[in-house]
Amino acid sequence: MIKTPIYLDNNATTQMDPRVLEAMLPYFTEKFGNAASRNHPYGWVAEEGVDYAREQVAKLIGANEKEIIFTSGATESDNLAIKGVYEMYKDKGNHIITLTTEHKAVLDACKHIEKLGANVTYLDVESDGLVDLKKLEAAMTPETILVAIMYANNEIGVIQPVKQISAIAHKFGALFFTDAVQAVGKIPVNVIEDGIDLLALSGHKMYGPKGVGALYVRRKNPRVKVTSQMDGGGHERGMRSGTLNVPGIVGLGKACELCIDEMETEAKRLSVLRDKLENSLNELEESYVNGNINHRLPHTANISFKYVEGEGLMMAMKDMAVSSGSACTSASLEPSYVLKSLGLSDDLAHSSIRFGLGRFTTEEEVDFAIENTKKAVLHLRELSPLWEMFKEGIDLDSIAWAAH
């Protein structure tokens, strides 16, 4: 018997793995010391927990543990990277390049530094969600200090060609920062092989706790420096002051360790389930998969169902937790800015649903999702005059609608 509602919104957040919780629990009670208390065993035990977690996080992305700065999550990591690089290197140049499809934490941090005098280029992506490398290279200038492009998109799951992007950034003497929140723990990410100078990751996207994340800051070739955005006791190599969230950090470390062990088999299992979901839902007329289907995360499917309104569809799929657009901006009724950047019309962008599968998703749940979604789409189309007109062969684009 399936327990409803079934959870298919793993790009928004993931259920904490019980093994992660188990690792964290002692640090709330008997191992409760402050990791910065250097003069007694309580502090040493807490610090040991943090040091071990630093190694676990570093190992997942091929970094050195000294390059891991703990933060409160990816939003803080994104802000620390973008604002911190801008302040540190603004004498060298003030130009930053990013994409229109980035996470709001990146876009809003860029808007913030524009007020401080930064010159930010927001590149459009192609219709499949990928950056055009020629356009990126053409946008580079001697003033460019940072290229900030996400590893994999949170809404459509498209994976950017990070190796080529970092090569272009480095050719012009700029640093490369990637918000890798959706990619780390799901697919192999290696900061050395990929040429990444700064990388943001988050615990709650990979079966760890909320409220904890990390920023990788490269220490050599080149040595990267960022100015702190939070001042205090000079914790985390002076880049991020504040008492460390020891239980959260321990949980993040354990989550990374589990991903190292299980990522490969999980990716295979989830891509099979995702393909089953997509192929079945594509049997519906006028349904479209958004984003490049050859370069994407194994667990993400974003599908538009024409002539159906996304919010209405989600309400009709009441036994399922899915999303239209990203959880970070879903309070607005605007169509997803990511889908609009791909060139989708408002009505098609409005009719999209993101399915995010995860470690605890079963095949039975996917079968349930297929049946439930099909039923909801067909039901709403029956009620739609637009669908009726479409079925009668009327070209809806040619109609001049009367203004109210």
Active site residues: 328
Name the strand (E) or helix (H) holding 216: strand 213-217
Tokens representing residue 168 in the block: 């272009």
C-alpha to C-alpha distance for 375 and 308, rounded to whole angstroms: 12
Cα dihedral across residues 191, 253, 359, 8: positive or negative: negative
Cis previous bond, 222, omega within 30: yes
Q: CB 192: neighbour CB atoms within 10 A?
A: 12
Tokens representing residue 278 in the block: 């997509």
For the chain, the distance separating the N- and C-terminal CA atoms, rounded to the nearest angstrom, is 50
Residues 61, 201: contact at Cβ < 8 Å?
yes
User: Nearest Cα to 302, choosing from 136, 108, 181, 156?
Assistant: 156
C-alpha to C-alpha distance for 154 and 270, rounded to whole angstroms: 16
Tokens representing residue 60 in the block: 């997942």
Q: CB 316: neighbour CB atoms within 10 A?
A: 17
Strands 352-356 and 198-202: what pairing?
unpaired
